[in-house]
A and B are shown apart, each in its own frame.
Chain A
Amino acid sequence: MASKKRSILDHVFVPKARILSKEEVEEVLRKYRVSKENLPKILETDPVVVELGAKKGDVIEFIRNSPVAGKSIYYRVVI
C-alpha cells in the first residue's frame, strides 16, 4: 500500500503554494511598495514550507479559495 508517498500539498484543504523566483519577488515588493521585513511571515518549520523546501528569506505565493473573491493571492516570507 505505502508505495506512493503522498504530499500534503495535494490535499484539497491546503492552499496551492509555490516559491517565487527572484524576479517575481522583486515585482511583488515593487507592486506593493513594501520591504521584505514588512511582508506577512511564515515559519521555516511550517509543514508546507518544509514540503516545498523553501529557505529563510524565500517568498511563497499562496493561492487560496475565497468565498467572496473566488481566488485570492497571498505572499509570505519565510523566517
Chain B
Amino acid sequence: MVRKKTIGAIEFGILSPDMIRKMSTVEVTVPETYDADGFPVEGGLMDPRMGVVDPGLRCKTCGQKMNKCPGHFGRIELVRPVIHTEYIKYVEGFLQATCAKCGRLVFSDETIEKVKKKYPPKMRFKYFVKKGAEVRKCPHCGYERPKIKFEKPYNFFEITGEEEKKIWPTEIRERFERIPDKDVEAMGFNPNKFRPEWLILTVLPVPPVTIRPSIILETGERAEDDLTHKLADIVYTNQRLKENIDAGAPQLIIEDLWDLLQYHVTTFFNNEAPGVPPSRHRSGRPLKTLVQRLKGKEGRFRYNLSGKRVNFAGRTVISPDIKISVGEVGVPQIMAEEITVPVHVTEWNIDEVKEYIKRDEYPRALYIIRPNGTRKRITPDNREDILEELAPGYIVERQVVDGDIALFNRQPSLHRVSLMAHRVRVLPGRTLRINPLANKPYNADFDGDEMNIHFVQTKDAQTESRELVAVKYNMISPRHGRILVTADEDALTGMFLLTWKDTKLTKEQAAELLYAIGITELPEPDEDGLISGKKIFSMLLPKDMNIEFPTKLCEYAKKFGYCEDCRNCDLETYVVIKDGELLKGVIDEEAIGTKGKIIHYIYRVYGPEEAERFVNRIGILSTMAIKMLGFTISYEELKIDEETKKKIEQIIEEGEKKALEYIELYKKGKLEPIPGFSEEESLELYIIQSLEEARKKVTAIVVKEKFEDFLKNPATAQGFVMIISGARGKVSNIINLVAFQGQAYVREKRPHRGFMGRVTAHFKPGDISPRARGFVKRSLREGLGMLDIFFWGMGGRIGEVDKGVSTQISGYYYRRLSNALMDVIVFPDGTLREVTNDALIAYRFGDDGMNPMAALDGKLPLDILYAKMKKLKGEKK
C-alpha cells in the first residue's frame, strides 16, 4: 500500500564542519581530474567515490550504476579558514553585537530578556546588531571594544585610534566559538542548527560529480564543468598555501595566498558577488557557479522547476482569416502532420481507425499503442500485421484533423481569455490562422505576433476544452461583462457603410454577399429593383428579435443639434428592429461593438452558439461589404474651406494672445493666483487653459463642418466615418490632421527642460510664451515645422518609455497578486473564502454580490434580461 505523506514543515539550517565531514566520502587533495590514461585520479575532483557519470561504471561508494547512484559529497580541508561570503551580513552582525573577549552579547542580561520578550526572533538580530555596534564597553567583562569596520566584499578591521588592524577569519572563528548558546538563541537562531563559527569555513563540501559531469567534445577531449574548474582553483590554492606554511614562507606570501583562497571560495558560491571580480574561463567567459545555476529566469527554479516544457504543442506567426469561425483555429498542414491525437479503438470506431492506418498520406495514423503499453510506429511494411492485430483496447495515434480541439494562447497571458479552446481547421500555408474578430481577448494583431497552440490529448481534457474553454463560452469578459469576440475596426466601418441609409445594392451584389455567409435566398427588392444594405443585415437577425436603441452617431448628432427627437429622427441615429427586421438606424459600435446592444441581445437571449454564428456572419458580411463599397481616405478630405480656415486661425491667435496677456500680467505681478497654487503654477494653468479653450472652439467648428460633409455624402468624409462608427480614431485626430496640432505635453506639462532656461537654443532664456513651450499652430496636413516635431517628439518619447516601464512593473504586481489570490473563490452562499484553510475573506463578494460577467459594466442589462424572460415564457407555452 502506498502511504501518502505530506510535508509538515521544512527546517533550514547551515552545515556544521562535523556534518560536512560526516557526509563526505573522500577528501580531495589534488587538483587534477584524470590521469594520462584517462582514469580519474584518487583524491582528485573526479574521484569515483563521489559518484559515476560514465555509463557502465559502478559507483565506488554505493555500488550502483549511473542512473541509480545519487552522487556523494567529498570535502576539501581548508588549511586556513575562510568566510562564507553569502552569509557575510551575519558574520558582520555577530562581530558587532558580541564581545571579542568574553563572547557575550554586549547587553546586560536584563536588556537581553526584555528584547527577547518584545521582538520576534527575526527582529532581534537586527536590533542587537544595530544597537551593539555602538556599545564601546562590554557590560559583562568590561572589555573596551574597538570599532569594527566592514570593508566590502569580505574584510573586517578593528579601529583603535589611527590604527586599522585586519581581523583574519581565524580570529573571527575563535571569537564566535566563545559566544554562548543562550546568546545565539537570543539573537534569533537555534544553536543546534546554527552556530556562528560555522559561518567561517574550515572544511568545504565538494558537490558530487553528478551535478558537474564532464563532457566529451567532438575532438575526443574532455571538458570539465565550470564548478569543477572552480573547485580545482580552490584545491590548488589550498595546496600551495599548505606548502608555503609548511616551508615557513614569509607572512606576506601566506596572507596573499589566504586572500586568494577566500576569493576562490567566494566565487565558487557566487560569481556575481558585488565587489568581487568574476572568475573567468580561459575563453574570457565568466564561470557559472552555484548561485548562477539557481538564480533568475534561466535558473533552476524558474526554468526547470516552475517551468515545464510540453509536448503536442506548436508556435508560429499568426495571420487573419475572416472565413474561419471565431471558434476555429487554422493549423498549417505541416504542423498537423507532425502532431498526433490518441484514438481509443472500440468496436464502434475500429473501421474508421483502420482507414487511417491504411493511408499513406496526410490524415493517417502514425503509431499504435498496445494494451500492454508498447508503442509501435506504423510503416508500409508492418501495416498489414497491425491491421490484423488491431482490436478494441488499442490506442491509435493519428495526425491532427479538422474538428480536433486545441488550446490557443498568446503571451502575456494576463487574463483567462488569453487561452481559449478552438476547433482545428487544417489549412495550407505556414501560419496559424485566427478570425480577426477573435483577437481582442488575446490582444493580438498581425504585425508578426506569434501564438502557441496545444493539441488536447485525453478525452477528459478534450471535453473540458469543448464545454468550458471554447471561445463561444468565453466571449464575455469576466472583468466587466463586455463581449470581447465581436466586430471592431474595419468590421465596424464595413457594417456602418452597408447599413447607411443610401446604401443600395444590385441583386448580383446582394447575392454575392449573402452567398458568402451561406444564405441562398434574396430579400424582397425595393421598387427600384435594388436591395438596401439594411435588408441584407436583417437576414442575420433572429426573426423574433425586437429592440430599439440610439446609435453612436446620435452622440454627435445631438451635440450639433441635428437630432432632437431620436425616435422620430430621420438621421439614422436610432435603431429600430422589429421582428428581426432592421427598419431604421445605422449599425455601429452601439449595435455590434463590445458593448453593442444587438450582440448582447443575441448572446444573452439566444445563447453562445447563436452568438458565435452571428459574429462569424457579421465578420464576413462587413469585410465583403467594405471591399465592395470601397473605403479610403483622401488628402482632399482633410481640406477645410477658406472661410472656416480663417475663423480657426483667428481663434488660435486669440487663444495665444490671451496666454501672452497672462504672461504680461504675471510679469507685472498683477496675476491673481488660483487658490492653492503658487503664482508660477497659476500662470501655467492659465496659459494651458486659454490654449485648450481655443482648441475646444476649433474642435466644435471642424467637427460641425465634417459632420455636414458626411451627411451630404459619406464618401467624402470617410475618415470621419471611422470615428463616428466607433471603428478607430478620435475627434482630436481629425483636428490634428485638419486644423492645428496644438499644445505638446511632456508628462502633462508644457515642455520646459532641455537647454538652459529654454527647451531649445532657438529661444531666449526664460521665454515662456506658447511658441517657446511647444504650442504648434500648424496641422499635419500642412506639415509640421522642425521645432514642432521636436516638441511633440519629447512627449511621445517619454510616453513610449513610461509605457514600457509601467507594463513591466504592473505586470509583475499583477502576477504576484493573481498568484496570491489563486485559491480564493466565491462560495455558493456569496462569501469569499480561501479554499486551502476556509478563512473567510468577504461576507459578500464585491459588496453587492454581483457576478461581473452576468452584468455589463457593473449594471444589469435589464432590457435584455426582460427580452430573455419574455422569450422563455413564450417557449413554455
Q: Which residues of A contact B (CB under 8 A)?
A: 32-35, 38-40, 66, 68-69, 72-75
List chain B residues, Cβ under 8 A from A74.
842-843
- Whether the pair A69, B840 counts as a contact (CB closer than 8 A) is no
**CA A61 to CA B846, docked complex, whole Å:** 18
Let me know if B647 is at the binding interface, CB within 8 A.
no
Let me know if B844 is at the binding interface, CB within 8 A.
yes
List chain B residues, Cβ under 8 A from A72.
843-844, 847
Let me know if B848 is at the binding interface, CB within 8 A.
yes
- Whether the pair B840, A34 counts as a contact (CB closer than 8 A) is yes
Most A CB atoms within 10 A — which of B829, B846, B847? B847
- Whether the pair A66, B840 counts as a contact (CB closer than 8 A) is no
- Whether the pair A73, B843 counts as a contact (CB closer than 8 A) is yes
26 contacts between A and B (CB under 8 A): A32-B831, A32-B840, A32-B843, A33-B829, A34-B838, A34-B840, A35-B838, A38-B833, A38-B837, A38-B838, A38-B839, A40-B840, A66-B848, A68-B846, A68-B847, A68-B848, A68-B850, A69-B844, A69-B847, A69-B848, A72-B843, A72-B844, A72-B847, A73-B843, A74-B842, A74-B843
**CA A33 to CA B841, docked complex, whole Å:** 13
Q: Bin the interface of chain B by size.
A: 10 to 19
Q: How far is the CB of B687 from chain A (nearest CB, A)?
A: 36
List chain A residues, Cβ under 8 A from B847.
66, 68-69, 72
From 835 to 862 in chain B, residues with beta carbon under 8 angstroms from any chain A beta carbon are 837-844, 846-848, 850, 858
Closest to B838 in A: A38
Q: How far is the CB of A64 from chain B (nearest CB, A)?
A: 8
Closest to A75 in B: B843
List chain A residues, Cβ under 8 A from B840.
32, 34, 38-40
Closest to A68 in B: B848
**CA A38 to CA B829, docked complex, whole Å:** 16
Most A CB atoms within 10 A — which of B838, B841, B843, B858? B843
Given contacts A40-B839, A68-B846, A72-B844, 14 further A-B contacts (CB under 8 A): A32-B840, A32-B843, A33-B829, A34-B838, A38-B839, A38-B840, A66-B847, A66-B848, A68-B847, A68-B848, A68-B850, A69-B844, A74-B842, A74-B843
Interface contacts (Cβ under 8 Å), in number, total 34
List chain B residues, Cβ under 8 A from A38.
833, 837-840
Q: How far is the CB of B838 from chain A (nearest CB, A)?
A: 5
List chain A residues, Cβ under 8 A from B846.
68
Most A CB atoms within 10 A — which of B829, B831, B838, B840? B840
List of 7 A-B pairs having minimum Cβ-Cβ separation, nearest first: A69-B847, A66-B847, A69-B848, A72-B847, A68-B848, A38-B839, A38-B838
List chain B residues, Cβ under 8 A from A32.
829, 831, 840, 843
Q: How far is the CB of A7 from chain B (nearest CB, A)?
A: 26
Q: How far is the CB of A27 from chain B (nearest CB, A)?
A: 13
- Whether the pair A40, B841 counts as a contact (CB closer than 8 A) is yes
**CA A32 to CA B677, docked complex, whole Å:** 52
Q: How far is the CB of A77 from chain B (nearest CB, A)?
A: 10
Q: How far is the CB of B712 from chain A (nearest CB, A)?
A: 46
**CA A69 to CA B858, docked complex, whole Å:** 11
List chain A residues, Cβ under 8 A from B844.
69, 72
List chain B residues, Cβ under 8 A from A33.
829
Closest to A67 in B: B847
Closest to A65 in B: B847
**CA A74 to CA B844, docked complex, whole Å:** 9
List chain B residues, Cβ under 8 A from A40.
839-841
**CA A34 to CA B833, docked complex, whole Å:** 10
**CA A50 to CA B847, docked complex, whole Å:** 27
Q: How far is the CB of A62 from chain B (nearest CB, A)?
A: 10
**CA A32 to CA B841, docked complex, whole Å:** 12
**CA A39 to CA B746, docked complex, whole Å:** 49
List chain B residues, Cβ under 8 A from A68.
846-848, 850, 858
From 818 to 844 in chain B, residues with beta carbon under 8 angstroms from any chain A beta carbon are 829, 831, 833, 837-844
Q: How far is the CB of B205 from chain A (nearest CB, A)?
A: 43
Closest to B834 in A: A38
**CA A75 to CA B847, docked complex, whole Å:** 13
List chain B residues, Cβ under 8 A from A69.
844, 847-848
Q: How far is the CB of A48 from chain B (nearest CB, A)?
A: 18
List chain A residues, Cβ under 8 A from B839.
38, 40
**CA A33 to CA B830, docked complex, whole Å:** 12
Q: How far is the CB of B550 from chain A (nearest CB, A)?
A: 26
Q: How far is the CB of A37 from chain B (nearest CB, A)?
A: 8
**CA A19 to CA B838, docked complex, whole Å:** 24
Q: How far is the CB of B837 from chain A (nearest CB, A)?
A: 7
List chain B residues, Cβ under 8 A from A75.
843
List chain A residues, Cβ under 8 A from B831.
32
Closest to A71 in B: B847
Q: How far is the CB of A70 from chain B (nearest CB, A)?
A: 9
**CA A75 to CA B840, docked complex, whole Å:** 10
Q: How far is the CB of A50 from chain B (nearest CB, A)?
A: 20
From 292 to 343 in chain B, residues with beta carbon under 8 angstroms from any chain A beta carbon are none
**CA A69 to CA B844, docked complex, whole Å:** 10
List chain B residues, Cβ under 8 A from A73.
843
List chain B residues, Cβ under 8 A from A39.
840
Closest to B839 in A: A38
**CA A38 to CA B837, docked complex, whole Å:** 8
List chain B residues, Cβ under 8 A from A66.
847-848
Q: How far is the CB of A30 from chain B (nearest CB, A)?
A: 12
List chain A residues, Cβ under 8 A from B837.
38
**CA A21 to CA B831, docked complex, whole Å:** 23
Q: How far is the CB of B231 from chain A (nearest CB, A)?
A: 51
